[in-house]
Structure formats: structure tokens, C-alpha cells
Amino acid sequence: KQGSKPRQKGPRTGISIAEKHRWLEQWEAHGADTKKWKVEDQGQWFLSEFGKRVATSTLAKLRRPDQVALIKQQWAQAGAPGAADVTAQRPRRVARLEALNTALHRWFVERVAASDCPCNDMMLIEKAKQLVEGGIEVPSDFKFSSNNWLVDFKRKYDIRYGAAHGEAASADAEGIEKARRCFPEFFGDTPISRIYNMDETGLFYRRFPRFSLGLGRSVLSQLAGTQLRPADLAGLSDEKE
């Protein structure tokens, strides 16, 4: 329909009764109020806790009184294991990717973001391979080419593409006027064939990429006006990440 937002496509992910009950505990701890625990925060919680992307329509269904009662009933029938058992039921794949994601995020903050170095998806994947070769364990069937893993990693740590440079940010109008006045004196005796314009030849823009991965606004806005070391950035809590 005209004016409607396109639906986000993605694989449907089932939710176990243990995961539903863990969510229900969090939901009731927030007073069963979407103002205290926003829908987007619930979706992010599912992603960070179980590595699953849950649609807002699914979350709305879980919040219905009849579904809440059903979750409690199914949980009681399942034997109601303790909280430690619920954590143990988290997918093995997610638990074993946490070490890789944490190490990759620390590298990105300390070596890329702190040094303002260009970076792209292929560089993230290559570094992840190096980390695994260095001893970090991942599931035997894990594939670095999996787009879901990379998308989830960047979403969790709010890493996104942005312009790497631009003329407007680097232009010095006052300096340009001074250069125009002394240009004939500096290059008056130089053959025209020996003078190049870096913008027109593209030497500068071919040297650096147009876009690069960097920390998103949600992270940078929290750090505005502060002076932190790279290690401080890498040590942000999950809530701030």
C-alpha cells in the first residue's frame, strides 16, 4: 500500500519456553509496562540474550494476558528449572560466539575507531578469522560469510558506515585566498604539464575509501564532552553498548 513502510524480511526464529519465561521475568520486573521497557529494548534484549531477532508483532503477542498465562502454565509443566538452568539453555552457538564478538569489538574500538582508520565489512571478517586462528573457539559449522552474524555484530555494538572524508569538512577558505595570491609566484616558472590538481586526478580519493565503518551516534552521544581512553570505550557495559 502507498505510504506504508516495507516489512523487514528475515528468517523466522522460534522461541523456546525457557526463553519465553526468561523474557516474562524481565517483563514483570519492569511492571509489565512498555513505557518502562520499550518494545525496541525488548527486541534488543532477545538479540543480546539469545541471539534471536524477534518481530514486534511477536512481542505484542507475548504480552497478551492469555499468552502470559500460557507461558506460566507451560513453564510449570516443564518442571520449572532454576534460573541457572535457563541460562544454560541458551543456544550453544550464541554462547560460543560471544568470545569472538567481544574480542572483535575490542579490536575495532582500540585499533580502528581510536585511530580513525578506514574499515569495512571484509576487514572485520578478516580480523575475525585471525582471532579464531589465534585460539578463540567458534561452532564447527560457523561460517564467516554468514551475513546474519555480521549484521547482528554491527547492530549490537552500533557500528555503521559513514562518510570517511569530504571537501566541506576539510576546506580552508582563508587559506585558499592566500594561496591564490601567491600561486603565480610559486609556480610561475613551472611548466603547466608539471602541475596537477589532486581533486581532478583523483589521487587523494583513490588513496582512501569514500565510506568507512565507525561508532554510531548512540554511542558517541554518550561520550560527548568526555575524554576516554580506547580501553574505556571497549569496556562499555552492555546497556551503554
Number of helices and strands in the chain (H, E): 14, 2
Shared domain check, 31 and 60: yes
Residue 22 CB contacts under 8 Å (≥ 6 apart), including other chains: 49, 86
The reply to whether 29 falls in a domain is yes
Shared domain check, 80 and 55: yes
Task: Give the phi and the psi of residue 137 in degrees, each rounded to 5.
Answer: -90, 140
Domain count, the chain: 2
* Alpha-carbon distances, residue 21 vs 28, 80, 82, 235, 241 (angstroms): 10, 9, 11, 30, 25
Task: Average the pLDDT over 44-56 and give the result.
Answer: 81
Output the pLDDT for position 207.
52
**Between these two residues, 220 and 35, which has the higher pLDDT value?**
35
**Distance in angstroms (rounded) separating the CA atoms of residues 207 and 203:** 6
Task: Give the phi and the psi of residue 230 in degrees, each rounded to 5.
Answer: -55, -35
Shared domain check, 102 and 24: no
Shared domain check, 80 and 130: no
The reply to whether 126 falls in a domain is yes
Residue 231 has pLDDT above 60, yes or no: no
11 and 54 in contact (C-beta within 8 Å)?
A: no
Q: What is the pLDDT of residues 79-97, one digit of tens each?
A: 655 433 444 444 445 556 8
Output the pLDDT for position 75.
81
Average pLDDT over the chain, rounded to whole?
71
Residue 197 has pLDDT above 60, yes or no: no
The reply to whether 4 falls in a domain is no
Output the pLDDT for position 226.
46
Shared domain check, 23 and 76: yes
The reply to whether 12 falls in a domain is no
Q: What residue numbers bound the domain in which 206 lies?
A: 91-241
The reply to whether 42 falls in a domain is yes
Output the pLDDT for position 127.
92
Output the pLDDT for position 140.
81
Q: What is the pLDDT of residues 174-185, one digit of tens each?
A: 767 777 777 777
Its pTM stands at 0.41
Shared domain check, 54 and 39: yes
On the CB side of 70, how many CA atoms lie within 13 Å of its CA? 10
What DSSP character marks residue 233? Answer: H
**Distance in angstroms (rounded) separating the CA atoms of residues 219 and 159:** 9
The reply to whether 2 falls in a domain is no
What DSSP character marks residue 64? Answer: S
Output the pLDDT for position 9.
45
Task: Average the pLDDT over 108-129 and give the result.
Answer: 85
**Distance in angstroms (rounded) separating the CA atoms of residues 29 and 61:** 18
The reply to whether 7 falls in a domain is no
Task: Average the pLDDT over 211-223 and give the result.
Answer: 58
Domain-terminating residue out of 88, 107, 130: 88
Instruction: Categorize the per-residue pLDDT at 38 as very low, low, confident or very high, splitting at 50, 70 and 90.
Output: confident
Give strand pairing partners of 159.
Answer: 215
Shared domain check, 226 and 165: yes
Q: What is the pLDDT of residues 132-161, one digit of tens each?
A: 999 998 888 888 876 678 888 888 888 887
